[in-house]
Structure formats: structure tokens, C-alpha cells
Amino acid sequence: MSSEIRVTVDGVVHPVQPGISAGELLRQFANGTRPVAARVNGKVVDLSRPVSEDATIEPVSADSAEGLEILRHSTAHLMAQAVQSLYPGTQVTIGPTIEDGFYYDFAPPRPFTVEDLPKIESKMRELVKADLKVERVEMGREEAIALFDSMHEQYKVEIIRGIPEERVSLYRQGDWIDLCRGPHVPSTRYLKAFKLTSVAGAYWRGDERNAMLSRIYGTAFPSREALEEHLRLLEMARARDHRKLGREMGLFFFDPIAPGSPFFLPKGAIIYNQLIEYVRRLYRRYGFEEVITPQIFKNQLWRTSGHWDMFREHMFLTTDGENPAGELDYGVKPMNCPSHAVMYRSDKRSYRDLPIRLADFGRLHRAERSGTLHGLTRVRAMAQDDAHIFCTPEQIAGEIDLNLRMVREVYEALGFGNIELKLGTMPDKHLGSEEEWRKREEVLAGAMRRNGFDFELNPGEGAFYGPKIEIYVPDALKRKWQVATIQLDFNMPERFDLEYTTSASTQARPVMIHRAVLGTLERFIGVLLEHTGGVLPFWLAPEQVRVLSLSEKVEDYAREAAELISRTGFRASADLRNEKLGFKVREAELARIPYMAVVGEREAASRMVSLRRLRGDKNQPLTLDALLELLKAEPLPC
RNA sequence: GCCGAUGUAGCUCAACGGUAGAGCAACUGACUUGUAAUCAGUAGGUUGCCAGUUCAACUCUGGCCAUCGGCUCCA
């Protein structure tokens, strides 16, 4: 009959009968582990999967990345089962795992609300207690289509129709069954620690022309403790939400009178302007020239640039009131590039002039859809550390290098060790041949490799006029926001008929590179606040030193000390209120002021301060001169 | 824009068909202070806006606005 096969578990070879399940083998030979799945010859499969040939078998524990994903995916199934038993007539669609959890999209008779979640959770717990076996079932495509059709699961039918394979796998638990590739945990009792977190609308297949489905988000962990820890971290992340910090630190606010448009208070404006000053210093080193351009242009400009067709729905249109028809014949700029093209065109250019690097902190306005606005990270009024480089085709690589070096310098200086680079490649709607595109994409990819950056592809996410490098930074809740960008543009020079005279006295078309390093300043400040929890580097702190007086007796000295510090060029104030020191310290700590200089009668007599650092050392006695030296030694990023 | 939720004093929240209340902040006074909240008093609101139901609406209904979580879009 069947001869024995050789399975390797934990480095030991065992002869066994073929057909025995991976789970059974692990139970026998890998004692003490409690896997959720098995890895057979490198492939992760159900524990129930029979092993029919020589194999190396390893346990996949719930703590591993793959195990956790299986756990969450199985929890998504559990949730779908609970939902369908509680809300008859609800169709299932898809339910993938995501970073930190999972979701499942349903087509219910009425959309779910958060009030439904506790009910669903308790149903899920019931199903866990029932210890339902999770079984893999394979069947032919047509058979599966007939099955789901009989269950009135039209979305599943649509999904299977899109699957090329002839056989598909389904998973059954109790009387519930779902199309799924798997693998899954062997039984519902493996799912102990889960929580449903939120509901949301989501379009079928992510297309807003399709039906709006009802999505439920949740998360699952191997243990109660791990789940609690996760929820605790989420709570802490919410404490460093930039919208909350902005209010607490008195940096900015929003008013319904200008949706999506932040008001920067004096302290917020200091951060804003310090960042601009920083970038200006960099510009001097990197060879950029700052310009100032108009805010409002006749629509003719947008027709020429292509924004009229591509971006008009996001533009604020206006008029000077002089045209008799009352037509909106002007547009407020959403981007700086067209005016820079106009500036380039304002003079005859030679190859000797190139590259020309025009930088512009001009204010931009974009009519973002109301539902997309989000604190400082998604606004309608903004400024970028924007620049456009006009260069010859030969100069492209060097210019990309220059900007990548600048990106590296800035993000290192500001303590972002977690930037992510992506290469946005040719979109469906594009100008130019595929061959040209691949060449240009390779130029960007090569530059990133040359500069030692890892990057991922973002397929089809390039601009219609050229590929782009996108740089992302996460916020406190790990949501990624694009900040810096470097984009090649072969279209705008064409549209504006830009030219330069070559060394052979012929006319040639320059290439345009759109780039921003901080990106949108509003967004950058938002992620910077979340990244730092509001504890900004000294040079960015709106208030750098606060002198705290101990009593009225030292008021004059405290005032004098603060004035001296201010005169020396630092942002300082004195807190002379009739309050206890602990109270003033607390307020200064909450305001995230880097240095607190405490002065009492002792200090006044010796012209000293007792220095306290934000969230750091205290009671450091210093003379006023020593304090000034210490402040002067605080580093600028450049 | 779409789905769901929320909107009460400057901030954080309570009350819930019978003309709104706390803590902090503000203001006044006392205290004269040693490294994350001294005490007392005063003032502050057409409960986001507009309609409707009702003898009576912060509370119920509808519309609008804004915000939050997502989707779509995107820096």
C-alpha cells in the first residue's frame, strides 16, 4: 500500500503514513506549541490540511505576523457569520485584514450604526463558545456560483466570476459558509480577544459610482492582554492628535466660517515661519531662488496649463466684477506651477541659464470635497515649500539627486526616521508612450537607489504628465500622509511652449520638475506635532524660555532676566502671576516650553536662575550669562 | 460628494418634553509662594442654524452648516 513519507518537524525526521494532517503532526512532534496554522514546505496552510509527501512542517503561532493575520481573518469571518444571523437579508462582500485589524463590507437592508456593534460582538462570543469547526471545502467554479446564487449572495457570485481558477475554496463554520482562500484557525474557540471598533460607508470595489456598502472595522489579538495593550496605545495616540495639541498649545484653530482653513495664532505662526526660514536657508545652499507670484489668474491660464480640464472641480473661481455677464472668469491658484511657467516664458532662456529653480511659498486654495477635510493634514488653504525646476533632459538625474539629498537632510534633521518612499508609475490616463514612461520611471528609481533609499512601487499613481516620487510620513494613528514629492513633467513645458536655446543654437524644450520637501506646511506641522507629541525642537518652539518668579519680591529681576533673553534673540516671557511655583511649572510643561528659568530671592541675589528642562532635569543653577551661552549652543537644523 | 456619528459656557463634559449644571479657564479678593493644579467669591449660555410637532422643545421630526470615523479624492 502507500509507503511512508518523511516529515521534518523541529529538525527531526519522522516517518509517517501519508494523509495525516499537518496539525496532527505538529501535535505529535512539536510539543508545547499551540499553532493556528502550519507551514508545510514554506506554505502556510490549515492545520487540517493532509500531508501526502515528504515535507518540512513548522507551526505558525498566533504571535507571528502570519498567524496574527489568520487570526484576524478568521475573526472577520466570525463577525460576518454573526452579522448574517442577526440581520437576515444582509449580503456579504469582502473582509480582508488590514494593519492592526480587519474589516468586512456588507450590503445590509439598512446601514449599520455603532449601536449594532455590542450586539454583534456578543453574538460572536456565542459562536466562539459553540466551538464551531472551521472546515475547508473545495468545489468547482460553477458549483460555487450556483451555491452562492441560491443563497442570494450576488456579490460573491460576482467575485467568483472574476476568479480564473476552475476550483475555488470555501470555508464552513456551523451552518455558515464563505468563499475564501484561507487558511483559517481550526475552530471558532481560537478567537478569544477581539473588538469591533467602528462602522463606515465604503463603495463596492472602491468606486464611488458603485453601491455604498456598510463596513465594520474590528481588531483581534492572540490574547486579552495584547488587545488591551493595543486599545491603550490607541488612547495614547489620541492624546497626541494635532488638533487637540493645537488647541492646548494655542497654535491654531478652525472656524466654520472658513471650512478646512486653519487660523494660525501667534504661536502657531512662529512654527510656520520658522519652518519657512529653515527652508530658505536650505535654498541658499541647494541653489533655489525664491519668487513671489500672483494669487488670482484669468481662466486662460488654467486652460493653458490643463487645470481647467483636470482640476477645475477643485478650484475656487471668482471674478473682478467687470465682465458684463457676471461670469466667473478668474481662478484662485491651487498650484504654483503655471505661474512659474509664465515666469520662465517671460524671458528668452539659454542652456547656460539652466537649471532654473524657482521656489514659491505662495498661498494655495483647493476646493477639497467637504468630507475629506481633516485638521491640518487635509485643508483647503495652504502653502507649500514648493519649487519648480526647469532643466535640460540631461540634467534630470542630477536634479533628482539634489532633491533627494535635500529630503534626506530635512527628515533626518527633524527626527523622522520613518519616512516611506514610493514611485508613482504610469496611470491609465497618461501622455506619452509606455516606452518613454518606463525610461522616466527608471530615472527616478535609479536616483532613489543611488541615494540609498528603499522604495515601493505605487502602480498607476503617477501624474498624467509624468512619474513621481512620493514621500509619506505617518501620524499618531499610523495613517500615512504624503508630504514631500518630486515629479517629472513633460507636459507643462509643452503647453506653455517653453524653450531654451541649445549650444547648437537650436530651440529645445526644457523639462519641468515639481518638488516640495516639507510638502504642504499645514500638513507638515500636523504630522510634526503628532510625531513629537508637541515637544518641538528648540528652534521651532513658539516660546523657548519662560522665567518663573517665585514671589512679588523678585518680579523686577524676573522681568529683567526675560528681557535680557529676548534681547539676545530668543523667544522668552516671564510668568509673574501670584501663583505657586508648582502651578507655573505645570502650565509651562503643558505648553511644552523647552526651558523654565526659576527665580527666587536666592537667584535674584546672585543673578542666577534655577533651570528646569521640559520633561527633564530640574534645579540646575546657572548664571544669566551661562544660561545665554547654553541657549546659543542650541542647534539649528542648518 | 457618499455612509455612520456628533454639535450644551473659552475647554472637557452632565441634564433630556416642564424656560440649563459641574470642573478647569476668565474676572475679583485673600495668600507671597522652591519645581506638574492655594483658597474663597463673581460673572459667563436665545443648548450650531432654520423650520415643524406640542399647552410647553436643549430634549421629538425635517432641512441646512460644521466637526469626527471611514469611502472616494489627494499635498
SS3 A12: strand
Query: Which of A73-77, A113-117, A120-124 shows the lowest mean pLDDT across its residues?
Result: A113-117
Q: Residue A134's pLDDT is what?
A: 94
What contacts 24+ positions apart, CB below 8 Å, involve A114-121?
A114/A198, A114/A199, A116/A199, A117/A196, A117/A199, A117/A216, A119/A86, A120/A79, A120/A82, A120/A83, A120/A86, A120/A196, A120/A216, A121/A82, A121/A194, A121/A195, A121/A196
Report yes or no: A471 and A407 within 8 Å, Cβ to Cβ: yes
The reply to whether A514 belongs to the active site is yes
CATH architecture of A5-60: Roll (3.10)
The reply to whether A243 belongs to the active site is no
Instruction: Give the residue among A86, A107, A108, A97 at the shortest CA–CA distance from A176.
Output: A86
The DSSP element (H or E) to which A230 belongs, if any, is helix A224-239
Nucleotide nearest to A98 (CA to C1'): B70
To the question of domain A65-224 being in CATH 3.30.980.10, the answer is: yes
Q: Who contacts A111 (Cβ-Cβ below 8 Å, separation ≥6)?
A: A199, A201, A212, A214
Higher pLDDT, A565 or A25: A565
The reply to whether A386 belongs to the active site is yes
CA dist., res. A180 & res. A90, Å (int) = 18
Distance between start and end Cα atoms, chain A: 78
Q: Residue A2's pLDDT is what?
A: 58
Higher pLDDT, A6 or A625: A625
The CATH number fitting domain A252-291+390-532, selected from 3.20.20.70, 3.30.930.10, 3.40.50.1970, 3.40.710.10: 3.30.930.10
Nearest residue: Cα versus C1' of B35: A582
CA dist., res. A628 & res. A609, Å (int) = 11
The reply to whether A180 belongs to the active site is no
SS3 A540: coil
For A259 and B46, how far is CA from C1' in angstroms?
Answer: 25
The reply to whether A110 belongs to the active site is no
Instruction: Give the residue among A91, A73, A72, A1 at the shortest CA–CA distance from A226.
Output: A72
Residue % of chain A over a pLDDT of 70: 100
CA dist., res. A32 & res. A29, Å (int) = 9
Report whether pLDDT(A220) > 80: yes
Report whether pLDDT(A1) > 70: no
Instruction: Encode A253-278: b = buried (16+ Cβ within 10 Å), e = exposed.
Output: ebeeeeebebebbebbebbbebbbeb
Q: Residue A638's pLDDT is what?
A: 86
Nearest residue: Cα versus C1' of B1: A369
Report whether pLDDT(A361) > 60: yes
For A584 and B28, how far is CA from C1' in angstroms?
Answer: 21
Residue A170 has, within 13 A of its CA and on its CB side, a CA count of 22
Q: Residue A323's pLDDT is what?
A: 87
Length of chain A: 638
The reply to whether A384 belongs to the active site is yes
Q: A190 — phi, psi (to 5°)?
A: -70, -15
Instruction: Encode A473-482: b = buried (16+ Cβ within 10 Å), e = exposed.
Output: bbbbeeebbb
- Could you read off the pLDDT of A393-451 as tens digits, one per residue? 999 999 999 999 999 999 999 999 889 999 999 998 888 889 999 999 999 999 999 99
Q: Which three cell numbers stand for residue A266?
A: 501667534
Which nucleotides in chain B have some atom under 7 angstroms from a protein Cβ?
Answer: 1-5, 7, 11-12, 30-38, 65-75
CA dist., res. A569 & res. A559, Å (int) = 16
Q: Residue A548's pLDDT is what?
A: 96
A562-585: average pLDDT: 95
Instruction: Give the residue among A627, A502, A512, A495 at the shortest CA–CA distance from A570.
Output: A627
- Could you read off the pLDDT of A500-536 as tens digits, one per residue? 999 999 999 999 999 999 999 999 999 999 999 999 9
Catalytic-role residue among A333, A340, A468, A612: A468
Q: Residue A9's pLDDT is what?
A: 86
Nearest residue: Cα versus C1' of B65: A256
- Could you read off the pLDDT of A368-404 as tens digits, one per residue? 999 999 999 999 999 999 999 999 999 999 999 999 9
Q: Which three cell numbers stand for residue A120?
A: 454583534
Report whether pLDDT(A326) > 90: no
A165-177: average pLDDT: 93
Sequence letter at residue A25: L
Report whether pLDDT(A307) > 90: yes
Nearest residue: Cα versus C1' of B38: A580
Catalytic-role residue among A49, A77, A514, A612: A514
Give the CA distances from residue A258 to residues A26, A314, A333, A379, in Å, rounded to whole numbers and listed in that order.
63, 16, 17, 10
Report whether pLDDT(A269) > 80: yes
Q: Residue A14's pLDDT is what?
A: 87
Report whether pLDDT(A113) > 70: yes
A262-276: average pLDDT: 96
- Could you read off the pLDDT of A124-154 as tens digits, one per residue? 999 999 999 999 999 999 999 999 999 999 9
Where are the domains positioned within chain A? 5-60, 65-224, 252-291+390-532, 545-632
CA dist., res. A459 & res. A467, Å (int) = 10
Residue % of chain A over a pLDDT of 90: 83
The CATH number fitting domain A545-632, selected from 3.30.565.10, 3.40.50.800, 3.50.50.60, 3.40.366.10: 3.40.50.800
User: For residue A350, what pLDDT band results from cuts at 50, 70 and 90?
Assistant: very high
